[in-house]
Each structure stands twice: as C-alpha cells, then as structure tokens.
Structure 1
Amino acid sequence: MTVLPAPTLAGDGTHVAEAARELIAAMMLEPTGRITPSVYETGRLVSDAPWLTGHGRRLTHLLVTQRPDGGWGAPGGYSVVPTVSAVEALLSALRAAPGGPRRADLAAAAGRGLAVLSGWLADGPSLPDTPAADLIVPALVERINGQLARFGERPDGWPRALPGVDRRRLDALHALLAAGRPVPLKLLHAFEVLGPAALRRPDITPVAGAVGASPAATAAWVSAGGGPGLHRTALAYLEAAVGQHGGPVPCCTPITVFERGWTLSTLSRAGVPFRAAPKLVAELAAALGPQGTPTGPGLPADADTTSVTLYALARLGHPVEPTSLLGYDLGSHFCTWQGEDGSSVTTNAHVLEALGWHVRHTVSGADRYRARTAALARWLCDIQQPDGCWADRWHASPYYATSCVVLALDGYAPTGAAAAVDRAVDWVLATQRADGAWGRWSGTAEETAYALHVLLGVRGPARRGVRDAVRRGLAYLETTDSRRDDPPLWHDKDLYTPVLIVRAAVVAARQLALTTSDPGWAAAAGPASGASMIRGA
C-alpha cells in the first residue's frame, strides 16, 4: 500500500506537487483502483459465497461495523440497503454455524438488526436514489423472512417476519425475465437480487471475470452454476476483490478508468503541477469507444465517465473529439445512460466541461458544440436549489454536486451563469461549520475541499467573507485531514469512498490556495502534520 506524505501549504508548492506524483504512482501500482469496503456487498458474499476465502473476516467486518442502534451504514434512508444485507447474511451464517460464543455474537447482532429494520420498514422508509435500491430491499426482505421461517426456535425478541415493502418493480422485472426478455445491462451490477429467472440465464457471462463489475453479482452467478470454462476467471476476480481488504469487498471493482479520469481532471483543473506517464494517458484514451467508456468492465458506457475521461485527456494535451457524447443528448440535457430514470446534475456538469473545452480550443468544436454548451448551462442554472446549492444522484453531499456545477459554469458557460455562481458562493459561505469545515452530516475533509474549490476556483474578485472562510477551511484540512477517515459519501448500492479521487480533491484545494492572488490564504493553515496522505482503507 502506497503511503503518501501530507503536503504543506507553505513555500513554493513542492509538497503539493509531490503529493500529486504519489497519487499518480498509486494509480499505476494499483490499476484496479482503491475503494473502501462495502457492508452491502460483503453481506452478499457471506450469504451467497461462504466457500470463498475470507468468510470469517467478512463476518467479523459485519460485527464490528454495526452501529449502536443496530443498523449499518450512513444516517437516514442510506442505512436500509446495508442493513438488510447484513441481517440476511447473519441469519444465513447462523443457520450454517455450529454453537458457541461466535454464534452468540452473530445472533445478538442479527437481533439488533432485525429490531431496527422492523421499525424502519413499518414506517415506510424513504430510500435515497442509489442504484437498484427499490429492487434490493424487497428482494432481501423476502430472503430475511424466508430465513426467519426456517428457524426452528427464534431467540426472544425476534420478529416472526419483517413488515412488507413495495415490490411492484421487482415483481414486474421478474415477470419480464420469466417471459424470456434479456436482463438489462445496467441491472447486471445488481444481478444477485434479480431472482432465479436471471440466475439461470445462459446468456449471462462475465466480462474480465466479473458480472456487472460487482463481487456480489459475480458470486451469485458462480453459485448458481455459471457456465463451462468460465468459473476460473470469475473465481480469480473474486479472490482479487477479497484481497483488496483481506475479506470484505467493495461494491464495484475495478474502477480503473473512473479513478484515473476523476483524479487527473481534478489535478489538472486546479493547476497542480504533475506529469502523467505516457502509459497512463494511452490506457485512458484506449478505454474510449464509439459509445464512450463505462465505469467498469461489464457495465454500460455512460456519459459521466466518458465526459470526465475526455476532459482529462484534453487537459493533458491529448484531446479526443467528443462525438461519443452525442448519443446521450436529450436536447435540454444529457442522460447518464440510455433509459436512465431521472437525471444527473454532475453528469451534465462534466459534459459541459468536456464540450466546453472543445468549443474554446478547436475550430470544429466551436461550430459543433457551442449551442449544446449554452443549453446545458441554462439547464444547470434552472435546476439550482432555492438555497443556491445543487444535489445529485451519484453523491450524498451537495458540496460535491455544487462544486462540479460551479466550476463547469464558471469555466465554460457562454453567458448568464454569474448569478447562479454567486448564489452558490453565498450558500457555501452560509453553511460553513464552527470548526471551519463543511459537510452534510459532519465536517469532512472531502466536503471541505469541494467547498474550497467553489470559493477559490471561481474567477473574479473575492466576495466579502470569502477570505476568512478559506482561512478557516484550510486550517481544518491541516488539523484533521490525516487524523481520521471520513464517512463514505459516493453512491453505489451503498455508500463508498474512491480513496484516490477524494485525496486528489484535497490536493487540488491546497493548490488553489497556493496559486490564489491572496498569499495569506496559502499561509493560513500553517505547516502540515506529516501524517500519511493516503491510508489503506
């Protein structure tokens, strides 16, 4: 595991440059990407693949990550998906495990989880817009109730069954699959909850060893029988996923293009001095096809990963004509993928950057994409929240979405975006915490970095209050950034952290402070703590 020194804000920025070099080296050394473990995904492997290396460590991970209230995961509706997965996994392990202290620990944890789930489901939880949540919850509640029915004697306090939940979409999908309809490519990422009609499909085969770039989906495919000659690559994929954290697994792996695109574009946008290895740039360019590129093998290509990849390559001096994005154009805005339910603010901000770069730097781009950038800028301004922020379906924090949109509008909106940017700056100033941090649930280094991107990355004279807010935010980064792990904020089946991407955001915030016209901001935080820049997750 690469350990990176924390950069100081003093001097000529050599420490920031060194941090960037270490980030790039880490991407080359760990090409699958660095991502935190998932309670949801780990629970699915406990239940569906107890034969896989690291089973005991996965059970331990479920025990030690349970919250005092009996749930797992982030606050509010974000708790439901990881908690139904963990509870179903513990019940499955209990039915297979012999007696003893270990069984008592599993039973106690399962009982606490059942109690909290009973309350949440009875109240009809509001689920956040995470992938396949409306399929995962009813599918796993059904499995939990099946597990409870098979216990000969339930411990005191356990319910006979959990309350029912809305399963209309799951039932409709089961009916389509039973009628022989193909499994939609975007649903392969949640293959593990699609039911027997999907698991028995002979047309589902792994890509690069994985089904839907998901350990849970791949384990379900292997357990259901898979196909001749294909288990070997799938098992190798699962072993590699297990090896990342010694037992627990992430939601999506590999994330090679996603990690590289976001990290390189973030560093480049902020003006961080670095040199990307030619091999890194060549591999990023090679990932682009006629429809763009997906986040991971076996997933559909999407406009978000495609646009960030295009923007990163352009900033690195290797522009690629962005015609692959035109297939996602809906007129007023761009979809993340064809057939998307809803829309993504950050996808459209990233598309604005990718197209806007070509408008500004190429003759053909000016003619071909100017109208699209103007329409995108209007769409983004129109959906700004009344308080001045933006929110998005791919991240739990409005600070991420707001920074993405503000930087895109300030950099590439043809006209008319200044008022929206000003409102966003006002919102950031108004929501800073007493300790200098920003954050949805608590102050985090990640969200503080995004807030600083808004305050420092916008052109023009600094607004009243910005100087003090930046000074306090930088001081927060210096005193807390390397001392603890922030909570996961990125959306997958449950929340996760793409570690290098987040670290790049922090490095970029420091670079912006170093290059601002007010040198007092750069010195405000004082010397760095010297703790590690990147920790093993």
Structure 2
Amino acid sequence: MSDGGSRAATTPAQRTGHDPDGCADLARELVATMALRPWGEVAPSVYETGRLVVVAPRLAGHAERVAFLVRTQRADGAWGPPEGYALVPTLSATEALLAALTDEFLPATARPALADAAGRGLRALSVLLAASSAMPDTPAADLIVPALVDSINARTAGPDAALSIPYPLNLPTGTDRHRLTAVRAAHAAGADLPPKLAHFGELLHGPAPRSRAADPTAVGASPAATAAWLAAAGPDADGREARVFLERVVGEGDGAVPCPMPITVFERAWVLGGLSRAGVPVQPPRSVLASLTDAVGPAGVATGAGLPTDADTTAVTLYALGRLGRPIEPTSLWAYETAEGFCTWPGEDGFSVTTNAHVLDALGQHAVRDPGAARYRRAVDRLTRVLRERQEADGSWHDRWHASPYYATACCVLALTESTHHGDRAGAVDRAVCWVLANQRDDGSWGRWEGTAEETAYALQILLAVPSNEPAVVDAVLRGHAYLRARVGRREHPPLWYGKELYCPTTIVRAAVVGAVHIAHRWPGNRRTAGHVVTGRQKSAT
C-alpha cells in the first residue's frame, strides 16, 4: 500500500492514469489542500469578522476587517444571504462599524464612509427586524439577535453617540431576551454550560468556557469566541496558543476571518466520503486517514477542535473510513439514539433528517459487512421509515443544517438507495426525482434562490442515484452536467451551510461538485459529453 491509503480506495482509472473528465486531478488537488490546511477551508464570515472588529481592535488586520465589511455590504444596506438569513450578519457588521466610528485605530478620513455604511445598515435592520420571517433558524439566533440589538441600541443612544437614530431597534416578533439573560447569569455564577455554548463565547460576559474536549488553540472553533476569551481572561492568562491561532487565521484571510474554524474532521470526512461514493479515485495521505481514525472516540467524533462530539460528524467519519478500507464498528452512534431516530447531540432542540441519513449510511454499511448484526439491521429498517415519514409532500426533504433542500434531499436519497431494499425506498426516491425534474432552471442549474454549482451537484446526485432512461431524466442530466462542467473548478460559492450565519465550507463544496461531474460523465446515458476532458487551462479559466 502506498503512502496514500488503502487498496480499497483505488480504482482502475487511478491505477492506469486514465482520467477522462479531469476529476481525478481536481480530487487530488482538493485532498492535497486538506493535508496542507489542517484547520480546513471556510469562506470569510461577515458575522465573525464583525465580532473581531468589536472584541479585538488591536489585533493585526483591524483596518482590513473594517474595509471587508464596507466592501461586502449589499446595495440595500444589508449583508449576507437573502431573506431572514441576512439579519445576523447585518446586525454584526452594523454594530462593528458603529464601534469603529469611535475607536482610535482608524484614521479620521475613513469615518465618513463608515458612517454612511453604518447608517445604511441601520436602515436595512429596521426593515429586516420588522419582517414576519425576520428571525433566522440558524443556531443560537435567539442569543445572537437580542445581544446585538441591545449593543446597537446602546451605541446609538445619548448625545455622545457617533451615529444616533430616532428610536431604538426592536426585537423581531416572538423573540425575547430570556435565554440570553439566563445563559449570561449562569455563566457569571460559574455554572457549567453545555460545551457547545463555547462556540458563542463572544456573547458572554467574562471568559468563555472551553469545551472539555477542546484543543486550547481555539475556543469553541471560533475566532470571535477565542478573541473574547483572551480579552476577558486578561494579559496574565496562558493564551499563547490562542493568540497564535488568531494571528494565523487573520493572516490567511487578509484580516477577515472564517467560522467555524477549525473544521478538520468535518472537512476530511465529507470530502473523502463524498468523493469515494462518487467513484472518484482518491488516495489520501496516511496522515489524513490517521487523523480520521484517531478522531473516533467512545463518544463519537467532533467537527473540529473546540467543538463537542455529534452524531452527524461521527456517522460521516465512520462512513468515509469504511469506504477507504478502514472500517470501525459504529458503536458510538448508539449514544445518540432517541425515540424519534438519532439526535445530532443529546438534548438537541429539533430534528435533523441529514444527521439521520448519515447515520443510516454508517449503520447500513456496517450491516453489510456484518450480516449477523441484528441490531444494526433493525436500526436501518427504522431509519428508512423515519426518513420516508419526514419527506415533504412535493418529494423533497428540508433540514436544519443546510439552507438548500437539494442538500437534504440528496443526503436522504443516497442513504436510502445505498442502504435499503428497492421496495423500501422506491416511492420516496421516485417522488424526489420528480421534484428535482420540476425545479430545474432554464440554464440547466438548480438552486433555492438562484442556480448554484453546489445545489446543481446535489440535484444530479439525486437523478443519477437510480439508473433511468426516461427522456425527462436524460435531458435534465445532460443540461445539468453541461452547467456544472463549466463551473467545476470555481473556488467561490454562496454560503448555504448553517452556522452562526450561513457559511461555505469551500473544500467540501468543491468536492461535491467534482463528484457530481464525475458521476454524470460516467453515466451511460451521457452521449453528448463523451470524451470531454477538463484540462488545466479550462480549470484555470473557470
């Protein structure tokens, strides 16, 4: 076995060097990137960058962070994605610009532009907060929104305010400060908070808690929470590694910072599992495989240092290791079993169909390896029923960890087709295919708000999960493949993944696109694109 990994991960194309669609080269690039960037690759975050402007104005790159916020403001004065998802980034950016207007670290000549941007942000917030769908369903929005509304009101009140408004901002209808008040009071009293709250440590008063499983490099896998911890802990605290983490993250992003970070295991599991499932030849370095194997503990796997273990990351990691010839019995997943299915973590407020689809992947894979594992077979049957019951009337699935139904639907369809019998899945998969066919755009793409490469990749995975010669499927696949092939090398993608705001795990998204192009190119019905090669020049042009 070479330095890359197991024999099970190789394919005839990999062994002969035959790469008709160029995806093997792109996959090797992505895997090499993962090895070189062990914390993962996430696009810059407006929310997180705004928090750093407020919490750490002396940190290198302060002026660049402020400029990033001004540069990324939308024409309507808001920041971020459409609908209510704009609220959190707009609150963070607006409050950061208000803070920058009064700090001593920016030249006076910059203040007019900052005042204009902050004023437009305040006007956008008055519209966003009044909308019936204002409150986003992203994690801890019930903490973030009231905390930032209060901060903005404090900065715009009184005769000394750098920018005043005639009336304070109001919370969205149905939102209150009860949970924020309770969490801050418990923290001030020294109570043990759930480890996942470390990710939101910038909202607490005083040093943020660190997860018991956290690497001291980062608090809560968040630059803002890490900076807040350092600021509250004081100069005498042992924060050398945290400072190095912040300096490196800031340096890589030209001032702007991503969130979450690090996402080491999350990124490696999703990329390797997805590429392998798509049939793309991958041969990860031993160190990358070892990092996944070593991450599996009795309680499961965490997304990255500073975050608690969860069933979603655990399941995808186990699935990826199984596909790469490093199977581990998924006993850690039983701790997440509930009456409804499997929770993402104990005490989860909600239900995730994608977590349950990924658990079905892992348990179904193990059931195939061990036909005598009756408990696993029963769980597979149960999860099949759970997913079918959660399917929407139009054939799609929706989830709490991704804004696009194409992601949730692809996760469920792939899990059902790979882990269950045809009779158990046929109706659900057929309805999902009909939904995808009904929603393709004129340019061949798919997307919730606009056509995107990421969502088109998921749509193609759904259509190609079960072979079909139906003319409607053939036409949709050919048009989707043509759209995606022209964009397979792109690095920038819109944020669709759930975090403090919607974010983009860049390498994971690029891997999903590569995998879908590869599947579509190898599809027997794809005659028009036979022989197409993604060359180096084409990759750079896209």
Residue 390 to residue 243, structure 1, CA distance change in 2 (3 Å): same
Q: Distance in 2 between matches of 1:81 and 1:37?
A: 15
Kept in 2: contact 1:503–1:533 (CA 8 A) = no
| Alignment map for 1:494-505 (pairs within 5 Å) | 494-505=501-512
Letter in 1 for 2:153: N
Aligned to 1:143: 151
Distance 2:534 2:43 in 1: 29
What does residue 8 of structure 1 align with? Answer: none
1:478–1:525: 8 Å Cα contact kept in structure 2? no
d(CA) in 1 for partners of 2:212, 2:419 = 42
Q: Secondary structure at the match of 1:416?
A: helix
Q: Is 2:421 the partner of 1:411?
A: no
Conserved 8 A contact 2:302-2:309: yes
Give distance in 2, aligned partners of 1:457 and 1:202: 42
What is the match of residue 7 of structure 2?
A: none
1:262-273 matched pairs, under 5 angstroms: 262-273=270-281
Structure 1 match to 2:472: 465
Which whole-Å deviations, capped at 9, do the CAs of 1:344-387 have from their partners, x for residues lacking one? Answer: 111111000000001112245x3230000111110010010111
Matched, 1:211 2:219: yes
2: CA distance, partners of 1:209 / 1:289: 20
Gaps of 5+ in 1: 1-10
Is 1:511 matched with 2:518?
yes
Letter matched to residue 107 of structure 1: A
Deviations 1:419-453 (A, max 9, x none): 00000000001000000000011111111111011
Give the Cα–Cα distance (whole angstroms) in 1 for the partners of residues 313 and 339 of structure 2: 20
Residue matched to 1:121: 129
AA at the equivalent of 1:193:
L
Distance between the aligned counterparts of 1:367 and 1:204, measured in 2?
34
Q: Counterparts of 2:531 and 2:452 in 1: how far apart (Å)?
A: 19
| 8 A Cα contact 1:332 1:376, kept in partner | no
What are the equivalent positions in structure 2 for 1:415-454 lying under 5 Å apart? 415-454=423-462
For residues 358 and 159 of structure 2, the distance between their equivalents in structure 1, rounded to whole angstroms, comes to 51
Cα shift at 1:282: 1.4
Q: Residue 95 of structure 1: CA displacement? A: 1.3
Indicate the residue corresponding to 1:81 in structure 2. 88
What is the identity, as a one-letter code, of the residue corresponding to 1:74? Answer: P
Partner of 1:183: 193
Query: Is the aligned partner of 1:170 residue 2:180?
Result: yes
Structure 1 contact 332–375 (Cα < 8 Å) conserved: no
CA 1:257–1:204 in 2, change beyond 3 Å: closer, same or farther?
closer
1:248 aligns with 2:266: no
Structure 2 counterpart of 1:38, which letter? S
User: Could you say if the C-alpha distance between residues 125 and 491 of structure 1 is closer, same or farther in structure 2, counting changes exceeding 3 Å?
Assistant: same
- 1:469-488 paired onto structure 2 within 5 Å: 469-482=476-489, 485-488=492-495
CA distance in 2, matches of 1:527, 1:303: 37
The match for 2:31 is 24
CA distance in structure 1 between the partners assigned to 2:326 and 2:342 by the alignment? 24
User: Equivalent residue of 2:486, what SS?
Assistant: helix
How far has the Cα of 1:485 moved from its partner? Answer: 3.0
Q: CA deviation at 1:528?
A: 6.0
**Alpha-carbon distance in 1 for matches of 2:460, 2:148:** 40
Q: Return the letter of the residue paired with 2:426.
A: A
Give the counterpart letter for 1:185 in structure 2. P
Instruction: Show the counterpart of 1:3.
Output: none
Determine the C-alpha separation between the residues in 2 that align with 1:278 and 1:427: 41
Gaps of 5+ in 2: 1-17
Structure 1 pair 204–62 and aligned structure 2 pair: CA distance change class (3 A): farther
SS in 1 for 2:157: helix
Shift of 1:86: 0.5
Write out aligned runs for 1:291-306 (5 A).
291-306=299-314
The residue number in structure 1 matching 2:6 is none
Q: 1:478, 1:526 within 8 Å by CA — same for their partners in 2?
A: no
8 Å Cα contact 1:202/1:227 also seen in 2: no
- Deviation of 1:480 (Å): 4.1
CA drift at 1:163: 1.8
User: Cα distance 1:368–1:521, how it changes in 2: closer, same or farther (>3 A)?
Assistant: farther
What is the CA distance between 1:119 and its match in structure 2?
2.2
Alpha-carbon distance between aligned partners in 2 of 1:455 and 1:151, rounded to the nearest angstrom: 61
Name 2:100's counterpart in structure 1.
93
Distance of aligned partners of 1:151 and 1:107 in 2 relative to their CA distance in 1, 3 Å threshold:
farther
* Distance verdict in 2 for CA 1:420–1:20, change over 3 Å: same
Aligned residue for 1:96, secondary structure, equals: coil
CA distance in 2, matches of 1:527, 1:177: 54
Indicate if the aligned counterparts of 2:22 and 2:533 stay in contact, CA closer than 8 A: no
Is it true that 1:285 corresponds to 2:293 in the alignment? yes
Matched to 1:284, the amino acid is L
- Alignment coverage as a number of residue pairs: 520
| Residue identity matched to 1:268 | S
Partner of 2:369: 361
* 8 Å Cα contact 1:475-1:526 kept in structure 2: no
Give, in whole Å, the separation in 2 of the partners of 1:333 and 1:348: 7
Residue type at the aligned position of 1:333: G
Counterpart code for 1:393: R
Aligned residue type for 1:342: G
Is the contact between residue 148 and residue 160 of structure 1 (CA under 8 Å) also seen in structure 2?
no
CA change 1:200–1:334 in 2 (3 A) is closer
**How far apart, CA to CA, are the structure 1 residues paired with 2:64 and 2:472?**
49
Cα distance, 1:272–1:474 mapped onto 2, change above 3 Å:
same
Which deviates further from its counterpart, 234-243 or 430-439?
234-243
Q: For residues 521 and 242 of structure 1, what CA distance do their matches in structure 2 show?
A: 46
Q: Does structure 1 conserve the Cα–Cα contact (< 8 Å) formed by 2:342 and 2:356?
A: yes
CA contact (8 A) 1:345 1:392 kept: yes
Q: Distance in 2 between matches of 1:265 and 1:386?
A: 30
Matched, 1:259 2:267: yes
Q: Does residue 1:238 correspond to 2:251, yes or no?
A: no
* CA distances 1:312-349 after superposition (whole Å, capped 9, x unpaired): 00000110000010100003310000111001111111
Pair 1:348-2:345 in alignment: no
Q: Any conservation in 2 of the 1:72–1:79 contact (CA below 8 Å)?
A: yes
Q: Report the 3-state secondary structure (helix = DSSP H, G, I; strand = E; otherwise coil) of the residue aligned with 1:465.
A: helix
Amino acid of the structure 1 residue aligned with 2:270: W
Q: TM-score, normalising length from structure 1?
A: 0.92
Partner-residue secondary structure (3-state), 1:372: helix
Q: Distance in 2 between matches of 1:262 and 1:60?
A: 33
Among 393, 401, 409, the alignment partner of 1:394 is 401
- Quick check: 2:202–2:208 contact (8 Å CA) kept in 1? no
Letter in 2 for 1:468: D
* 1:206–1:381 CA distance, 2 compared to 1 (3 A): closer
What is the one-letter code of the residue matched to 1:479? A
- How many Å separate the matches in 1 of 2:186 and 2:155? 26
Check whether the contact 1:36–1:496 (CA below 8 A) recurs between aligned residues: yes
In the TM superposition, what is the alpha-carbon distance from 1:159 to its structure 2 partner? 3.5
How is 1:320-359 mapped onto 2 (pairs within 5 angstroms)? 320-359=328-367
1:32-68 Cα offsets, whole Å, 9 max, x none, are 1111000000000000000101001000000000001
Give the C-alpha shift of residue 146 in structure 1.
1.0
TM-score (ref. length: structure 2): 0.91
**1:500-533 CA-partner distances (Å, limit 9, x unpaired):** 1111111111221232222416439786683447
Matching residue's letter, 2:261: T
Q: Which residue of the partner structure matches residue 69 of structure 1?
A: 76
Give 1:200 shift: 7.2
Equivalent residue, structure 1, for 2:168: 161
Compare 303-312 and 93-102 and name the one that shifted more: 93-102
One-letter amino acid matched to 1:282: A
Distance in 1, matches of 2:309 and 2:244, equals: 24
Provide the secondary structure at the position in 2 that maps to 1:473.
helix
Q: 2:325 aligns with which of 297, 305, 317?
A: 317
Partner of 1:103: 111
Which range moved further: 492-501 or 425-434? 492-501
Which residue of 2 is the match for residue 6 of structure 1? none
